Amino acid sequence: MSFGDWEGHAIKRFEKWITKTYRQWVESPHLVKLPGGESLDDVRGRAMAALEEVLRKHSEKTIVLVSHRVVCKVMICAILV
C-alpha cells in the first residue's frame, strides 16, 4: 500500500501534524484516501486484479501468496464478501 506523504515518517511525528486524517485512519480506515497515497479500496482493486491474474495463469497449481499485513487483510475481506 502506498502511504503517500506518510511514508518514511515515525507514527509519533505524523500524529501531530495530520491529526484529523490520522484519527480517521485509526477509527475508519476504509473511508480514508491517504494524502499522496492510496485508499483501502485502491489496494483492494489492485490486489484482487493481481490475484485473479495469478489464478488464471496457475489454475491447476498450488500457489502461495505473500504480502504485507494491510494488503493481506484487504484481500481476505474482499474474498469473504
Mean of the per-residue pLDDT values for the chain?
A: 90
pTM score: 0.81
d(CA 81, CA 41): 14
Q: Are 54 and 63 in contact (CB under 8 A)?
A: yes
Of the pLDDT bands very low, low, confident and very high (cuts 50, 70, 90), residue 65 is confident
Q: Express each pLDDT in 14-52 by its tens digit.
A: 667 677 888 898 899 999 999 899 999 999 999 999 999
Q: Is 44 helix (H, G, I), strand (E, B) or coil?
A: helix
Q: SS3 sequence, 10-37?
A: CHHHHHHHCHHHHHHHHHCHHHCECCCC
